[in-house]
Amino acid sequence: MKPARFDYVRPRSVEDALARLASEPGAKLIAGGQSLGPMLNLRLARPSLLVDIGGLPELFQADAGADESFVGAGITHAMIEDRMVADGSAGFMPHVARTIAYRAVRNRGTIGGSIAHADPAADWLLALTALGADVIVARSTGERRIALPQFVIAAFTPALGESEMVLGFTFPSLSAGARFGHAKLARKLGKFADAAAAVIVDRPRGVCRIALGRPEGQPVLLPGLADQVAADGQPSPQDIAAALASALPELDAFERRILSGALGRALAQALMP
């Protein structure tokens, strides 16, 4: 379980990194290495060149503006957990960060790597979906902005060109009075979720979003249920079941149970008086 041979470079800037990517067809970015490392060892990934962007200062920017927030791709789960970067999510992102993997993984794993890896079960994918985030993608000719749901084309398939990289994420800032709920059902601490739910209720901003995550398939938003919650508060079990059935009709009974269970917990947290 050792990687096949590869070359390794540490570019000094995003520009440099993009140039490296463009110059070598088999090149691949590595950030925290927490997803790519195992894939290299299992020889499931066989890049000819690793372009190490861990530690690139440009990727550590964060901003919590009144309207819009930004999180740089190179920021680690642990930095978010420890509130070392500006947080426009009213504490939601630090809360989610704490539920990702183990501390050793969080020390290295980055939010950009997590989204670029496009594992449907990734916790950031759910959280950023619930925040209504866009992905900022850099290429040699400039930057583009793409809504997160469009960014993940399929499991492990991001909408990234050969010589593009993720710079970071923007999302509408939450107000200080925003409430959130987050539940992750996993068989053990540090595992990816079997079912997860995130609920954001920001009454001052008129925002209510509900997202569900699961191992197969991208997170889904439940806008109808969210409207109902915004209007009436706690929905009934029947309403939850109906929203689930219409959003994810293909679920089996077990999946329905754990997703509605996770959602029930997240709603209870968000709507706690």
Partner 1 sequence: MNAEAKTGQGIGARVLRKEDARHLHGRGRFIADMKMAGLKEVAFLRSPVAHGLIRAVGKPAGAEGEVFTRADLARVKPIRSTIQLPTFNGSDQHPLACGKVRFVGEPVAMCVASGRAEAEDLAEQVTLDIDPLPAVVDARAARDDGAGPFLHDEWGSHLVLTTALDTGIDEVARTAPVKVTRSYHMARQVMNPLEGKAVLAYWDDLKGQLVVYTSTQVPHMIRTAIAEHLGLDQREVRVVAPDVGGGFGYKCVLQAEELCLAWLALTFRAPFRWTEDRREHLTSGANCREHVYEVTAYADTQGRLLGIDADITVDAGAYSVWPFTACLEGTMAARQLPGPYAFRAYRARTWTVATNKPSIVPYRGVARTGICFAMELTLDAVARAVGREPWQVRRENLIAAEAMPFTSPGGAVYDIGNYAGSLDMALGEIDVGAVRRRQAARQAGEPLVGVGFANFIEMTAHGTRAFALAGLPFVPGAEPAAVRLTPDGGLEVRVGVQSHGQGMETSLAQIAHEVLGIDVARIAVVHGDTELTPFSTGTYASRSITMAGGAVAEACDQLARRLAKAAAHLLQCAPEQVELSAGLFRGPSGDIAVSEVARIWYLKPELLTPQMSLESLEVTGMFRPKTDTGQYSYGTHGVVVAIDPATATLAIEDYVIVEDCGTRVNPLIVEGQTYGGAAQGIGTALLEEMPFDGAGQPLASTLADYLMPGAAEMPPIRLRHLEIPSPNTRFGIKGVGEGGAIPPPAAIFNAVNDALASAGVEVSATPLTPRRLFAAIAAWEAAQPGATPPVPAPRERAP
Ligand X SMILES: Cc1cc2nc3c(=O)[nH]c(=O)nc-3n(C[C@H](O)[C@H](O)[C@H](O)COP(=O)(O)OP(=O)(O)OC[C@H]3O[C@@H](n4cnc5c(N)ncnc54)[C@H](O)[C@@H]3O)c2cc1C
**Integer Cα distance of 122 and 218 in angstroms:** 9
Query: Is residue 155 near partner 1 by the rule CB under 8 A?
Result: no
According to CB under 8 A, which residues from 244 to 263 bind partner 1?
249-254, 256-258, 260-262
Query: Is residue 188 near partner 1 by the rule CB under 8 A?
Result: yes
**Integer Cα distance of 226 and 200 in angstroms:** 9
Give the one entry of ligand X, partner 1, none that residue 5 binds, where binding means its C-beta sits below a cut-off of 5 to 8 angstroms depending on kind. Answer: partner 1
Partners of residue 74 on adjacent β-strands: none
Query: Is residue 44 near partner 1 by the rule CB under 8 A?
Result: no
**Integer Cα distance of 232 and 84 in angstroms:** 36
Q: What is the pairing mode between strands 179-185 and 142-147?
A: unpaired
Residues 165-184, mask of contacts with ligand X (x by CB under 6 A): xx------------------
Query: HSE of 227 in the Cβ direction (CA atoms, 13 Å)?
Result: 3
Looking at the Cβ atoms of 53 and 220, the one nearer to ligand X is 53
Looking at the Cβ atoms of 197 and 211, the one nearer to partner 1 is 197
Looking at the Cβ atoms of 87 and 194, the one nearer to ligand X is 194
Partners of residue 68 on adjacent β-strands: 172
Shortest distance in whole angstroms from residue 271 CB to ligand X: 25
Shortest distance in whole angstroms from residue 49 CB to partner 1: 16
Query: Is residue 117 near ligand X by the rule CB under 6 A?
Result: yes
Coil, strand or helix at 88: coil
Give the one entry of ligand X, partner 1, none that residue 66 binds, where binding means its C-beta sits below a cut-off of 5 to 8 angstroms depending on kind. Answer: none
Query: Is residue 122 near ligand X by the rule CB under 6 A?
Result: yes
Among 185, 207, 221, 230, indicate the residue that binds partner 1 (CB under 8 A): 185
Looking at the Cβ atoms of 5 and 66, the one nearer to partner 1 is 5
Is the alpha carbon torsion for 245, 235, 123, 173 positive or negative?
positive
Q: Look up residue 212 and give its amino acid.
A: L
Q: 166, 112 in Cβ contact below 8 A?
A: yes
Q: Look up residue 148 and give its amino acid.
A: L
Residues 6+ apart with CB under 8 A from 163: 18, 21, 22, 139, 140
Give the one entry of ligand X, partner 1, none that residue 187 binds, where binding means its C-beta sits below a cut-off of 5 to 8 angstroms depending on kind. Answer: partner 1
Binding site for partner 1 (CB under 8 A): 1-5, 38, 42-43, 185, 187-192, 194-195, 249-254, 256-258, 260-262, 264-265
